[in-house]
Structures are given as C-alpha cells and as structure tokens.
C-alpha cells in the first residue's frame, strides 16, 4: 500500500515524479481562506480528459468562496471533511488513503484533490473526454430494428441496455484489466434468469487475464474462449443494444469492454449465429424462409466450388451429358487445372475484399464492385478462367454475404479453401471426409461449457421451435435450454 503523506509538498513531488514528461497534466495550486488564515489545496488532472465546466463550477468556485470564519473554526481534519461533504458539489467523489489508487483515478480522467497537513486525498469523478455520438450500427443493419448502436464508452453502452430493460435484477459487474491500459471490462446479466455457473466461469476466466493492455473486446474473446485453435467464433459479438437485450432476456451473459463498440454474448451456438434481430420483428413465415436461405447460402459458401471440382474432375458421369460438354467447351483454352483455376479466382476475390475494407468507404465500394466485374470479364476474355468458374465463385461470394455473423462468414470462407483441396485430392470422397471432420469438430466444440451444436445435442421435443424454423411468437413461451436459465418461462401461454 502506497501511503499519502501529510506534507502536501511531498505528495505533489511524488506525483510530479510519477507523471514526469507528461506535459498535459495540470497541478492547480491555490489557497482557501484569506490572508489571516489560509489552507493550501492542490488539484491534479489531465487537461484533455476532464469536464472543464465541472472543475470550474463544482470544485474551484465553491472552494475559493470559503470565508475566514469557516476555515478558522474547522482546522485540519474537520476542514477536509467539510470540503468533501459540503463544499464540492460534484455528483460523485471518494476519499482515498492510497497514492496508487489516486494515480489510477487521475489516469482514468478524474481529478484528485489534496489538502495540506491531511494524509488523505479526494478523487472527484470528472471524466469529460470527447466521444462519438450514438449512431446507427454500421456492420449490423436491421430493417425494423432500432437505429441506435453502441459506442466506445462502456458507461454509455450500459445506459443503452438499461434504457431497454428497466429491471433491478439487471446486474452490472465491472473490473479493470491490463497492467498499463487498465481497461474497464463489465459483465451484465439478469439475476434470476442467467445461470450462476456461467456467470462465475466467465468471471474466473476474465480474472485470470494478465496482459499489458486490452484495446478491443476481441482481445478478451481470444483469451477466454474454450478452444483457441478453432476457427469458429465462440462468442457472438454485436454493436446493437436491442440484440444484446434480447440475449440477456434469454439468459445469456454479456461482456462489455471500454473503448470498443462491440459487446460479447456468451454462451453461443452455431444456430444462434445464423439468427438476426429481424427474425423477431418479422412474421414467422418470412423469418423461417429467410433463415432457410441463410443455411442454404452457408452450404453454398462452403461447398459449391468443391462440388464443382469433384464432379467435373472425378465424377463427370454424375452430370447431364449436355452440361459436361458445355463445361468442357468453355474450358478448352484455359491453361490451368480446375482446382488451380478455382484457387486463383478465390484468392483474387479475397484480395479485392481486403482492399475494399482497407480503402475509404467510397473507394472501397468501387474497388469491390468494379474490380470484380472488370477482373472477371478480363480473365474470361484472356482465357485464364472459364465463364462457368466465374459463375461458381460469384455464387460462393454472394452466399457468404448472406451469413449474418461476420466472424462465422470468415470461418466459412476459410473452409472453402480446405474443401477445395480435399475435392482436388479425393473428389466427392474428400468432400465427405471434410464434412465428417467438420461435424466431429463441432460436436466437440463448446462455448463457456455449452455444446456448440445445442439444442441438437441431447435434443428434446420442443427444442427446435427457434432453430431452422422460427415458430409463431405466441409459441415462444420458453427460454432456450442451452443457456440453462433459472427461470425458463418468458411468456404466459395463450
């Protein structure tokens, strides 16, 4: 424990040594009282991290207006208590007797106040740095959902959730992670719904993180997931408050991280990653149809190039004769084998995707659309690839865009290359082996101890009403079993 001295000068020297070469820190020294009787006081804060109006109106003005009689009648500790309890009008402050805690508070954008001859300090919550306004989510567009998205402030994100769930059982536990960054990381859950075993397990994993700095929620995701070697996302990330609240009401636990607009939702299942907030704001017929399209798109995104390679290179007898002749004539002048042709096209497409992401938005869209069309047309005319291969890779690319979870879409794009290699070596048998290995991996995979293939593992009647098929809303009376909720009923039966 780093004790605070009664000598104000000694405390200031200690802080100046700690913040040496920090030109943006302010030591505001002044006296309270008058010439007959004065007491020396010092405020310490970073000038670009505080609310200047709060410092001026709620701290400096009240202190400089203290009269002679107040000071004379309240020397020493009584003066300190009067400053803390009566004079400073900030919305929150704390008394500290540890210099390390005061340093951490200053670094978090708060103001420290020291009074001469008192071995205590006051931390005044005065954070006031610039932050982005609440805007529409950029990566999760919804047709009928809210147009509010999380921002890079953990406190603001908590308020967006509490605005939607006005329940005292909605709990928020926060801690600081990172020896140097001291990033605020919070857990939110609804007491009485969320399973305590999942909450305790997440707290345990987070408490074990020992790192210099956490700059994004992705750091936490990778440090606490069950299987770091799996390409599949084991947490669902979202920047939508409404989707986060929906997950909380189902019994999930949410992880919030300061300085990032993304929340992590746990546990997660493969089926859950195909669901969208629009599924619950649309008619159940439409939601079921759209889900079916997403699953079909995922199948195409993984397998269609591999199936084309296997059927044309190893099993042409499975295709209609006219189609085989058409494919053969289109590939007559192509110098590469079908697997090489597919890999060239896929790699080119991934380069265009990455270029589109890294460039400014207007240029990125142009590169993605125009580049694909121009390169595809030029490649066909040059005889490098066949027209049907351009069609196959285009279907593959468009299908991956229909997957609502970005990380899952990337995972499927990675598997496309693996299935192409398997199909190139063993035809359809290679594709079957790939599917078998994939199923085995998914069966073994867990998210915070919950099976990734829930609810199909230990399947019970009634578990499938919100999976491939979304039942009418009045039938969704139970919370999903995979979260192991304490309260399983979320709606009375009609």
User: Interior CA angle at 292 toward 287 and 294, to 5°?
Assistant: 95
Distant-in-sequence, close-in-space partners of 119: CB < 8 Å, separation ≥ 6: 3, 4, 5, 6, 97
Instruction: Give dist(CA 196, CA 198) in Å, integer.
Output: 5
Q: Where are the alpha helices (DSSP H) in 331-360?
A: 338-358
In this structure, which long-range contacts are made by residues 414-421, counting pairs with CB atoms below 8 Å and at least 24 apart in sequence? 414/231, 415/231, 415/302, 416/301, 416/302, 416/305, 416/306, 416/346, 417/343, 417/346, 419/302, 419/303, 419/305, 419/306, 420/305, 420/306, 420/309, 420/339, 420/342, 420/343, 420/346, 421/339
Number of Cβ atoms within 10 Å of the Cβ of 423: 28
Instruction: Give dist(CA 381, CA 243) in Å, integer.
Output: 47
pLDDT tens by residue, the chain, 494 residues: 688 998 999 999 999 999 999 999 999 998 887 666 678 899 999 998 999 899 999 898 888 876 654 555 556 677 788 888 888 888 899 999 999 999 999 999 999 999 988 899 999 999 888 888 898 888 888 888 888 999 999 999 999 999 999 999 999 999 999 999 999 999 999 999 999 999 999 999 999 999 999 999 999 999 999 999 999 999 999 999 999 999 999 999 999 999 999 999 999 999 999 999 888 888 899 999 999 999 999 999 999 999 999 999 898 888 888 888 888 888 888 888 999 999 999 998 888 888 877 777 666 666 666 677 777 788 888 888 888 998 999 899 899 989 999 999 999 999 999 999 999 999 999 999 999 999 999 999 999 999 999 888 877 766 778 888 888 888 888 898 899 999 988 888 76
Instruction: Give dist(CA 276, CA 287) in Å, integer.
Output: 9
Q: Which residue reads 């505001």 in tokens?
A: 28
Phi, psi of 68 (to 5 degrees): -65, -40
Rg (CA), the chain: 30
Q: Is 329 exposed, middle or buried (0-12, 13-18, 19+ CB in 10 A)?
A: exposed
Its pTM stands at 0.88
Domain coordinates of the chain in residue numbers?
8-124, 154-268, 280-450
DSSP β-bridge partners for residue 103: none
């Amino acid at each position: 424990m780093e004790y605070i001295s009664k000598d104000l000068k000694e405390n200031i020297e200690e802080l100046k040594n700690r913040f040496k070469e920090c030109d943006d820190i302010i030591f505001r020294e002044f006296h309270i009282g008058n010439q007959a009787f004065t007491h020396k006081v010092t405020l310490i804060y970073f000038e670009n991290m505080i609310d200047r109006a709060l410092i001026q109106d709620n701290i400096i003005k009240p202190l400089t207006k203290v009269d002679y009689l107040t000071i004379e009648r309240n020397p020493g500790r009584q003066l300190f208590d009067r400053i803390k309890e009566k004079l400073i009008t900030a919305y929150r402050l704390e008394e500290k007797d540890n210099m390390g805690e005061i340093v951490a508070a200053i670094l978090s954008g708060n103001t420290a106040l020291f009074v001469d001859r008192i071995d205590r300090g006051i931390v005044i919550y005065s954070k006031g740095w610039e932050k982005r306004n609440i805007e529409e989510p950029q990566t999760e567009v919804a047709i009928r959902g809210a147009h509010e998205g999380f921002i890079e402030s953990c406190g603001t994100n908590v308020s967006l959730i509490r605005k939607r769930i006005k329940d005292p059982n909605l709990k928020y536990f926060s801690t600081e992670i990172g020896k140097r960054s001291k990033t605020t990381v919070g857990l939110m859950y609804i007491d009485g719904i969320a399973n305590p075993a999942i909450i305790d397990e997440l707290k345990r994993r987070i408490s074990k993180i020992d790192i210099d700095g956490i700059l994004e929620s992705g750091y936490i995701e990778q440090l606490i997931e069950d299987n770091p070697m799996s390409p599949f996302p084991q947490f669902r990330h979202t920047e939508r408050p409404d989707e986060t609240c929906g997950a909380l009401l189902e019994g999930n636990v949410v992880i919030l991280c300061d300085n990032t607009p993304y929340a992590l939702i746990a546990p997660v299942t493969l089926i859950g990653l195909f669901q969208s907030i629009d599924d619950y704001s649309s008619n159940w017929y439409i939601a079921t149809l759209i889900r079916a399209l997403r699953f079909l798109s995922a199948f195409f995104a993984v397998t269609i190039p591999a199936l084309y390679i296997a059927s044309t290179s190893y099993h042409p007898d499975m295709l209609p004769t006219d189609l085989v002749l058409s494919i053969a004539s289109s590939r007559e002048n192509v110098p590469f084998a079908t697997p090489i042709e597919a890999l060239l096209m896929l790699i080119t497409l991934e380069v265009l995707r990455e270029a589109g992401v890294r460039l400014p938005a207007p240029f990125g869209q142009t590169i993605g659309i125009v580049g694909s069309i121009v390169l595809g047309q030029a490649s066909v005319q040059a005889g490098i690839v066949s027209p049907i291969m351009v069609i196959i890779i285009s279907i593959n690319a468009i299908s991956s865009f229909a997957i609502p979870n970005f990380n899952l879409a990337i995972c499927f794009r990675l598997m496309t290359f693996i299935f192409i290699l398997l199909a190139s070596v063993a035809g359809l048998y290679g594709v079957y082996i790939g599917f078998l290995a994939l199923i085995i991996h998914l069966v073994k995979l867990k998210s915070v101890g919950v099976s990734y293939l829930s609810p199909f593992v230990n399947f019970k009647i009634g578990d499938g009403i919100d999976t491939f098929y979304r039942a009418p809303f009045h039938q969704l009376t139970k919370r999903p079993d995979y979260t192991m909720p304490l309260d399983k009923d979320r709606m009375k039966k009609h």
